[in-house]
A and B are shown apart, each in its own frame.
Chain A
Amino acid sequence: MSTLLIAMRRDLLLAARRRGEVVIALCFFIVVITLFPLGVGPEPALLQRIAPGVIWVAALLATLLGLPRLFAADHADGTLEQMALSPRQFALLVAGKVGAHWLLCGLPLVLLAPLLGLQFGLDAGTLWTLMLALLIGTPVLSLIGAVGAALTLGLRGGGVLLALLVLPLYVPTLVFGAGAVEAKAAGLSVGPQLCLLGALLVLTAFFAPWAAKGALRIALE
């Protein structure tokens, strides 16, 4: 456990010294969502209808934006190799880095989402569901993304390739996440969707750090 916290603390400390990057991903999230009313028109009924999907897709893209940086700097200065060689469990160190990525990229989205939902005319109950679904779903995005980031580490055109690899794997999270919010807006029970999101979180939390570790070892050879 301490291994995980060490890696997490280090990445958070590094981010605290360069605060700009966190703000950029957040601004991207807001800008993408703002573009939709400009594209489809300002009718409240339509905006209310598309809000869950738009906010979730923007969350996917904002998470994707931060992924290439997850391992790139540590790879460039050799820290990653030291981590792989250290006696501590590499998978736990990777999990710690992913945790830090979520705290910096995912959690701000969760906290900001109600404000943006309000702009789209969602009511209070739906906003809570939106927050809850994002709270469970965004760690899944970071975890799956970490595998993609590890696979594309140091490759030509890594960023675009990363999107191609990771976005198809985000489909279930998007379906259940946006589905929960839509169900709430339609007055239905949100239990099944949130449970399935939780199941995805448990599954990826268990497997993704190992897969990312394997991919990183391949990249470091």
Chain B
Amino acid sequence: MNKSHTLCWKFASPAAFYPLAGRMTPMFAALALLLGLAGLWIGFFVAPTDAQQGEGYRIIFVHVPASWMSMVVYCAMAFWAAVGWAFNTRLSAMMASALAPTGALFAFLSLLTGSLWGKPMWGAWWVWDARLTSELILLFLYIGFIALQASIDDPRRADRAGAVLAIVGVINVPIIYFSVKWWSTLHQGASVSLTRSPSMARAMLLGMLLMALAFWMYAIAVSLARVRNLILEREAHTDWIKNALD
């Protein structure tokens, strides 16, 4: 077995991963802060005012990265849940549970900023646009996952039941997205699609990418911190926890 393999298995053990996560959390948090500040600075001061939407468009720097992350986190969650189910590794399942609240937060943030953006631009807080509707359903999928795990007392059963649901969900997400997209094109006569300028100014794109990276780092930092709490909770009976906390 080569070296990287053994390293991978070593950190699959909660006892080895707990201190590693403890060292990584502040690093990712600092990166999130730096990238976020840079992204916001470009978003507010460098990026030019939009020709059609004026200053109001600047919410894009939160809205679009939040929407991206809500989908990325769902895939990551399903991936760890599947790994945990297949290989019976406790840590993978804990990782899936740790990612769920962050993903739900991003989905909620995306809906919130979307409606704040929609009011001045479209004149309505909510329109039954394909993207808005499928984001709402994604939020329900997250809430379902969290609620299912919360209602099962036995953590092993909760992990596996959550894994089945996450895998079923991740297969369904594209189907739901396309069905909703098709539905909204059928229904909306006067479409209110996002009036995005055809070529985005370079500064806008840079700001958005920086914010997306900042959200990535934030998601990693928060999930690692949460997984540490889960490890403490579930491994409370072991000796190494007692030694680590002393």
| CB proximity to A under 8 Å, residues B116-172 | 137, 140-141, 143-144, 147-148, 151-152, 156-157, 160-161, 164-165, 167-169, 171-172
Q: Mark B182-208, 1 if CB is under 8 A from A, else 0.
A: 110010000000000000000000000
Q: Choose one: A147, A179, A207, A215; the contact of B183 (CB below 8 Å).
A: A179
Given A147-B168, A155-B152, A176-B179, the answer on whether A168 and B186 have CB atoms closer than 8 Å is: no
Is A219's beta carbon under 8 Å from chain B? yes
Known contacts A155-B151, A155-B152; A172/B144 CB under 8 A: no
Chain A residue numbers with a CB within 8 Å of B33 are none
Write the nearest CB–CB distance from B210 to chain A, whole angstroms.
33
> With A175-B183, A214-B164, A218-B164 known to touch, is A168 a contact of B148 (CB < 8 Å)?
no
Q: Which residue of A lies closest to B137 (CB)?
A: A168
Asked if A152 is an interface residue, CB under 8 A from chain B, the answer is yes
A196 to B175, CA, bound (A): 11
**Set of chain A residues within 8 Å of B172, measured between Cβ atoms:** 169, 172
A207 and B164 alpha carbons, distance in the complex (Å)? 12
Contacts of A164 in B (CB 8 A): 140, 143-144, 147
Q: Separation in Å of the A70 CB from the closest CB of chain B?
A: 16
Would you call B141 and A172 a contact (CB within 8 A)? no
Mask: chain A, 146-158; 1 = CB below 8 Å from B; 0 = not: 0100011001111
In the complex, chain A residues 18-74 whose Cβ is within 8 Å of any chain B Cβ: none
Q: When the two chains form their complex, are residues B164 and A172 in contact, meaning their CB atoms are under 8 A apart? A: no
Candidate in B137, B140, B175 with the most chain A CB atoms within 10 angstroms: B175
How many residues does chain B have at the interface if contact means C-beta atoms less than 8 Å apart?
A: 27
**A161 engages B147 (CB within 8 Å):** yes
Known: A152-B148, A218-B161, A219-B157. A169 touches B179 (CB 8 A): no
Asked if A211 is at the interface (CB within 8 A of a chain B CB), the reply is yes
Which residues of B sit under 8 angstroms from A215, Cβ to Cβ?
Answer: 161, 164
Q: B164 contacts A151, CB within 8 Å?
A: yes
Q: A171 interface residue, CB < 8 Å from B?
A: yes
Cβ-defined contact, B165 with A172, below 8 A: no
The reply to whether the CB of A221 lies closer than 8 angstroms to some CB of chain B is yes
Contact A168 B144 (CB under 8 A): yes
Q: How many angstroms from the CA of A196 to the CA of B144 in the assembled complex?
A: 26
Question: Most A CB atoms within 10 A — which of B156, B157, B161, B171?
Answer: B161
A interface residue count range (under 10 / 10 to 19 / 20 to 34 / 35 or more): 20 to 34
| Bound CA span A156–B172, Å | 26
Q: Which residues of A contact B95 (CB under 8 A)?
A: none
A116 at the interface (CB under 8 A from B): no
B180 shortest CB reach to chain A, Å: 7
Q: Which residues of A contact B156 (CB under 8 A)?
A: 221
- A179 to B167 Cα, complex, angstroms: 27
Q: Which A residues are CB-close (under 8 A) to B169?
A: 169
B168 touches A211 (CB 8 A): yes
CA A101 to CA B141, docked complex, whole Å: 25
Q: How far is the CB of B237 from chain A (nearest CB, A)?
A: 20
Give residues 163-221 of A contacting B (CB, 8 Å): 164-165, 167-169, 171-172, 175-176, 179, 182, 196, 200, 207, 211, 214-215, 218-219, 221
| Contact status A175-B180, CB under 8 Å | yes
Q: Out of A151, A156, A175, A176, which one reaches B161, CB within 8 Å?
A: A151
Query: B176 near A: Cβ within 8 Å?
Result: yes
What separation, in Å, do the CA atoms of A161 and B151 have in the docked complex?
Answer: 9
Closest 5 CB pairs of A and B: A172-B179, A175-B179, A218-B160, A175-B183, A168-B140
Write 28 A-B pairs (CB below 8 A) sorted by A numbering.
A151-B164, A152-B151, A155-B152, A161-B144, A164-B144, A164-B147, A165-B147, A167-B140, A168-B140, A168-B144, A168-B176, A169-B169, A169-B172, A171-B176, A171-B179, A172-B172, A172-B176, A175-B180, A175-B182, A176-B179, A179-B182, A179-B183, A211-B167, A214-B164, A215-B164, A219-B157, A219-B161, A221-B157
Given contacts A147-B168, A158-B151, 14 further A-B contacts (CB under 8 A): A151-B148, A152-B151, A156-B151, A164-B143, A164-B144, A168-B176, A169-B172, A175-B179, A182-B186, A200-B175, A211-B164, A211-B168, A218-B161, A221-B157
